[in-house]
Structures are given as structure tokens and as C-alpha cells.
Chain A
């Protein structure tokens, strides 16, 4: 039987040290059993390596940055569609998803399909809103707070310092040593832990103080995260402010300050059908992590807790589309959900390698085909990423730079 040929446009061709998922998505699509593909690359920068991988990408067009606005993006996509007759677009960047979700109805009217989360899903899982998300769906997340200025960092930690000193003074005045959580064990004032003490005081003052119990729990180290990308561990106020400035200059405001969780990193790639059903899920343990926190090697694992957590996430949110859950397992074997990425991750080819071609299933959902849950995956298979130097003639770079396509 002849397979249909679909024209699929893919972004995220920046296969660099912090790689976009595009190249891995394209490899997956080229291995699809249910269709053949012509791949149209959509690039923001002229040196995105995927542009020059002609065995994977048939033709590439430059597209405007999301900051240019959706009208400029739509106009460019209209032009590309007139040339390529696109069937499906797979956007792979967090920062561009808002534009594509907004354009979905207009693109659909041109017969270009996508399978993306809804606006509500996209916003709700945003790392700025992760604490509320965790409370709403009863999923453990580290406490985080969106901040808009370095002054807020000062306030968070100054307030904590002040409250500690007040607490100690109060306990001394009362001559009480039993404010700590483990009060039976404390017989001497100098054994009282100020943090536990502060938490207790916050509870005592509950309703009178504007300082929440969560705010009390910020201690160094903390994570400082950009709203789209980048995350740094800050060990003191100076570092926290420096990272705040670095991240806000690059990705804008707010910046997220998040409680640091010690542990081992696990990720799950999954696919939801939009009705609360899990169609695919592959958990992976990061085996080798770059200085940018990216998995350079990982192994598929069989952890029922992780699968159950993923099912719960999909069922609760009725998640539509692909996603990646980033989790941390602490010393007590408890998982904390650190981030939800509303798109296919760069390590998606591991899922294909272990038996779940998630990009293929995503495309079939986009074009309206019925997709059954994908078969069980192989456990104990590794992906190991590598870098590779391509030799590219200057004329190719010149063509792309001058004409906006290659």
C-alpha cells in the first residue's frame, strides 16, 4: 500500500549544545510507518545546523522571531504555504508556541494542521505558575515565586533574616525551647533550628502576617530560572541578583525563584489526546548532563510511579499534544515536578528507539486520524548524543542569508 506523503514544517533546527528538538523530530518523522514526509525547515537563525542537513530537511525558510508579532509570522507562513502546500506544522520552541496557538484557527482555515495544547493548558503549566499548578492538581512541586526586580530578592531574604532574629528573640524572652518541629528532642535553646522556629512563628502569626509560609522556606541554594529558558543555582544573594539580571536581560520578566531540590533528574516524554487519555509515555534517567543541564545521555526506565504521575498529569489537565515532564527524585525517593515543557523534547528519538514514535502519533492526531495508545517501550536502552562537524559551502550560507530560504 502506498503511504501518503505529508508536507511537514518543523522548527527547532538548532542542534547545538542546548539543542532544539527539530532535528530529532525530523529523524522520527522519516521513520514513520504510516506516512512519508517532505520536511520543510523553519529557522530563526542562519546557522541553525538542521538547515544544512539536506538528508533530513528538504527546504528551509527563515521565519520572523516571535517578538515580531503573529501577523508577521502568519504572512511568512502564508508565503511558505503557497510554495510548499503544508499539511502540518510542528513548533518546537516554548517561546514560539504562544504565537502558533494563537494562529491555529487561521492556519486550520488554510488546511494546515497542528496538535498543540490549549491556551489554558499552556499558561497554567508555565513555570511562573507551577506552584499553583501543583496545588490545583495535587502534584508535588518545589515552591517558586515570580519576581520582577532584584529588590524582591532582597525583600525575600531580608524578611527571612528579620523574622529569624525576631523569632529567636521571642523564644528567648519566653524562655521556651519547644517551637521546633521535633520538640521532644530539644532540651537546650542552642539546639533550636532557626528555620523550623521561623516556620512555627509564621504559623502562630497566620492571618496577621503577609509573609506566607512558603516564602519562609526559601533558603540558599535556590534556582533562578528564565520564563522561557535558562536556569542557574544561586548560593547567595549576590549570585541570585546576578543571575536575575542575566536572565531578565535575555528572556524578559518575570524571573522565577524556586526552591532547590537535591536529587536525581528524571524526565518523561508523553503524548495526550486532549481528552485525558495517555497515548504515549517514556521515562528517562539522565545519565550525562552538560553544564547547561541538558541530557547528553540517558536511559529508558520502568518506574510505575513515574508513569502513574504522568497519567495523572494528562488525566487532570486533559493535556493536548506532546510534552516533557522534568522531575527530581530526592533522597526519600519522592518525585518533585520541576517543569512541564509543552512540546516535544530534544531527546525524543530515544522514545522512537524504544518503540514509541511520538512525532508520528502527533502528526496523525493533527490530521484527524484515530491514534491508539502506543505499544510498551523497551527498558534499559540508552541514547548518547554526539556532535558532528558539517562542511558547508559558503554559497549555501549566502543563499540563505540573501533569500531567506535554502
Chain B
């Protein structure tokens, strides 16, 4: 499942994320921040997993599972576009 992160989401280098539509803010660890950066670039799920594997020395199945969990969190917190 590919998702598109809301384009107006603001995320700082420290992983502080602010949703201007709802006023909610979140802190995200470096892995999550990297996921969001790639999502905002518009990369596909496979591309994101490949890049993460290159950067973090991790098995694709592990990063894939974490990525799916993370996407679910983003959806639960209304951080993806409505039409997804």
C-alpha cells in the first residue's frame, strides 16, 4: 500500500513534526523522519525500502515490517492525504 503524506506537514531536522491542519505535533525518531522525507519526495514503497536497506544495514523484510507499521501510525494520526 503506497500512501502520500500531506504536503503541508512540517518536519524539522530534529524530527519534530507539526500538522498545520489540526495543530497537532509529534516527535519522530531518525528512522521515522527518514521515512517521511522519502515519502515527501514521492518515492515508491520499494524504493524507500531499498534506500533504507542501503543506509541502515538491515534486512528488507525487517524494514518493510517497520515501514508498514509506521504508515499505519501516519494514517491513524491523519497525516496522509484524505484520498489515500
A residues apposed to B, CB below 8 Å: 264, 266, 284-285, 287, 298-304, 329, 333, 379-380
Contact = CB atoms under 8 A, between A and B. Distances in A.
B8 A380 contact: no
A352 B66 CA distance: 43
B20 A301 contact: yes
B78 A301 contact: no
Interface string B58-74: 00000000000000000
Do most interface residues of chain B lie in helix, strand or loop, or is the interface mixed? loop
B29 interface: no
B18 interface: yes
Given A380-B10, A380-B18, A299 B23 contact: yes
Interface residues of B, number: 9
A289 B35 CA distance: 33
Interface in B28-84: 78
Nearest to A305: B21
Rank and list the top 4 A-B pairs by shortest CB-CB distance, nearest first.
A285-B23, A301-B23, A302-B20, A379-B20
A380 B20 contact: yes
B23 A287 contact: yes
Contacts of A264: 22
B23 A333 contact: no
Do most interface residues of chain A lie in helix, strand or loop, or is the interface mixed? strand
A264 B78 CA distance: 14
Nearest to B25: A299
Interface string B2-23: 0000001010000000101111
Contacts of A304: 21
A334 to B, nearest CB: 13
18 contacts: A264-B22, A266-B23, A284-B23, A285-B22, A285-B24, A287-B23, A298-B23, A299-B23, A300-B23, A301-B20, A301-B22, A302-B8, A302-B20, A302-B21, A303-B21, A303-B22, A304-B21, A380-B10
Nearest to A329: B22
A302 B78 CA distance: 14
A304 B24 CA distance: 16
Contacts of B22: 264, 285, 301, 303, 329
Contacts of B20: 301-302, 379-380
